[in-house]
A and B are shown apart, each in its own frame.
Chain A
């Protein structure tokens, strides 16, 4: 028996009345969806379409439409089209299914069920444009108490030495997306944006291309299990160092950059041979226990003269709070918690959709555990994984995060349509590709501005939300769960979040 073709995922049509046969759709589609036939453009292979919308964005006449799932399956609540198609695929191939972007199951968002507060009468809301509004955040270790000495003249002087901290003027940073996974132009655009907005971005685990050196003060260099591109110069260049243990999109497994993406530049930056797969092991093979993590943290600090904060990134898994508390004792300066909606270029679908927990619950559990153990000041908490807007960021901070990483949102600001086909390496927006003609489509200056605009706009919205809540410094928002209410969240989740229900 043959399985045959599954129905079309997307049906593309060109309105012949509107089409002017300019051919931009053909040029722009790297998947070969369109073809010139005589003096007309036709949709040759609708099946190739990924709904990346590049053709739609480039069509000067709005002539193209894309319809998702034009052919119905017999409806069934359990045996969804996705469930059936996964089986056809695996029956045919006998392989693990890879998928792009974050968790694609229709699970409710907790963020959407948390509502923010505003002042009425008993305290004034603050207009952030007229009055001071402080979003400045320091990331790193803080003492839990200070020691002072009094000089002979009676002045008070600080005795406590403060460990190195990163200072940001917005709580929004850009997470780690490696060179290789995304293009150099994409990284350059992000680097320009963080430079412009006074924040930081992660290099990802793929090393630092020389073109990024001018922005190195705003880069957090990542050390992952594959140690790609890691040498002492790389460590010294970064403003901070991040040890990547895990990632929300695929907790517990390693990574795999296919050899076809390892061209000369990626090869040089990652310090591996051209064309060879870049394989990150699932664990760090020098970390088999928490005390080994402390060793790596110290080794990185020793190598860089104790001048740089060291972050540790973990996926939000069931026991995330206890793990974070262990990290807080490792000498690390911040713990990055990546929720199960975190994006990725490619992850096994079964991991992407089924492993890990939501970032909202993870932040709450981590923040509370660190407080219970009296080590909250030992580490900053950076939350990531599916933050879509300023409200998500504000809620994450109110739950207890110090700052956030955004990833997908920054890519969307550069054109990404979340088509989820990053693993093909043909990203028509020049983001998740290394093909020179596609990379060239992404103008780092223009897209850098777009990402900076996004950060500015969200930052302004966070200020407005804080002002409406009568708060003029982000310290007073952090962990302020009194200013959140849960809407249609169950009792157990409300307890974990430590948030009261609406009306209470």
Chain B
């Protein structure tokens, strides 16, 4: 039996305190009802717990989080998964700008769209590897400054090729998969097309399967399409910029 917390009119600090208290008491299922605009939900939260958010949370959902699963039934604000370390965020809706900013590990799944600068400066280190999976579309500067991890953009309802500027601008690690075509002019400094082989398809399969498990789509149909794979030209995109005095 899950712990239900009514978030109506509750400031995020007492709300997070209730969550932390419940987690400390060994609760593994928490449901937050009537969430409206509370920022920092599960901020810095450590543990094995599933938090269901009913409503529209505020920004920085799951920031610094290590371990929990947060499921949002509604749209998320800016930067869910900000500097997150481990765990999973599942958003049944859309999210704002800078989704998964500086994310270091764990997974973020967004059913619909994300805003600008999705996955900006995601990074990987040893076994830590972040994943951002988006079912809808993304705006400009997707994967900007990316240093590691994986972005998978499925564009399930989109028509035409991906045409947002600044794709993977300054990328120096990690990779971006986009279902369908990508206009050449979108590729920004340091970003290059890489071949999409059958082994790549096999690598993204578990992500697609997980997406479909959450949101109920057809794995086979999604995986069957063509994908564009974008990666870094080098690990040092700006190395040629300076000269010594």
Contacts and interface: CB of A to CB of B under 8 A. Distances in A.
Please determine whether chains A and B interact with each other in the same assembly.
yes
Contacts of A132: 165-166
A159 interface: no
B223 interface: no
A131 B237 CA distance: 14
B120 to A, nearest CB: 9
A129 interface: yes
A127 B169 CA distance: 10
Interface in B115-157: 141, 144-145
Interface string B45-64: 00000000000000000000
B141 A129 contact: no
B241 A131 contact: no
A130 interface: yes
Contacts of B241: 129, 460
Contacts of A460: 241
Contacts of B237: 129
Contacts of B141: 130-131
B165 A130 contact: no
A377 B107 CA distance: 53
Q: Is the interface of A mostly helix, strand, loop or mixed?
A: loop
Nearest to B165: A132
Nearest to B144: A130
Nearest to B237: A129
A460 B238 CA distance: 12
A129 B170 contact: yes
Interface in B137-196: 141, 144-145, 165-166, 169-170, 188-189
A471 to B, nearest CB: 17
A129 B166 contact: no
B166 A131 contact: yes
Contacts of B144: 130-131
A132 B169 CA distance: 10
B175 to A, nearest CB: 17
A130 B144 CA distance: 7
A131 B145 CA distance: 10
Interface in A407-462: 460
A480 to B, nearest CB: 25
B147 to A, nearest CB: 13
Contacts of A131: 141, 144, 166, 169
Contacts of A127: 145, 170
Interface in A124-139: 127, 129-132
Interface string A109-129: 000000000000000000101
A117 B69 CA distance: 44
A129 B189 CA distance: 7
Interface in A304-351: none
Contacts of B170: 127, 129-130
A127 B238 CA distance: 11
A127 B145 CA distance: 10
Contacts of A129: 169-170, 189, 237-238, 241
A131 B241 CA distance: 16
Nearest to B141: A131
Interface in A246-264: none
A279 to B, nearest CB: 44
A412 B49 CA distance: 67
A130 B238 CA distance: 10
Interface string A387-419: 000000000000000000000000000000000
B239 to A, nearest CB: 12
Nearest to B166: A131
A129 B165 CA distance: 13
Nearest to B117: A131
A130 B166 CA distance: 7
A127 B188 CA distance: 13
Interface in B227-245: 237-238, 241
A460 B170 CA distance: 16
A129 B169 CA distance: 8
Contacts of A130: 141, 144-145, 166, 169-170, 188-189
Nearest to A127: B170
A131 B189 CA distance: 9
A130 B145 CA distance: 8
Most chain B beta-carbon contacts within 10 A, residue among A129, A130, A460: A130
Contacts of B189: 129-130
A460 B240 CA distance: 12
A412 to B, nearest CB: 16
Nearest to A464: B241
A6 B184 CA distance: 68
A470 to B, nearest CB: 16
Nearest to A460: B241
A202 to B, nearest CB: 29
A132 B238 CA distance: 16
Nearest to A457: B243
Interface in A201-256: none
Interface string B187-220: 0110000000000000000000000000000000
A132 B144 CA distance: 12
A132 B189 CA distance: 11
A54 to B, nearest CB: 24
A390 to B, nearest CB: 14
A449 to B, nearest CB: 15
A329 B188 CA distance: 44
Nearest to B145: A130
A131 B142 CA distance: 11
B201 to A, nearest CB: 29
12 contacts: A127-B170, A129-B170, A129-B189, A129-B241, A130-B166, A130-B169, A130-B189, A131-B141, A131-B144, A131-B166, A132-B165, A460-B241
Interface of B: 141, 144-145, 165-166, 169-170, 188-189, 237-238, 241
Given A130-B141, A130-B188, A132-B166, 8 more contacts: A127-B170, A129-B237, A129-B238, A130-B144, A130-B145, A130-B166, A130-B169, A460-B241
Q: Top 5 A-B pairs ranked by shortest CB distance?
A: A130-B169, A130-B170, A129-B189, A130-B144, A129-B238
Interface of A: 127, 129-132, 460
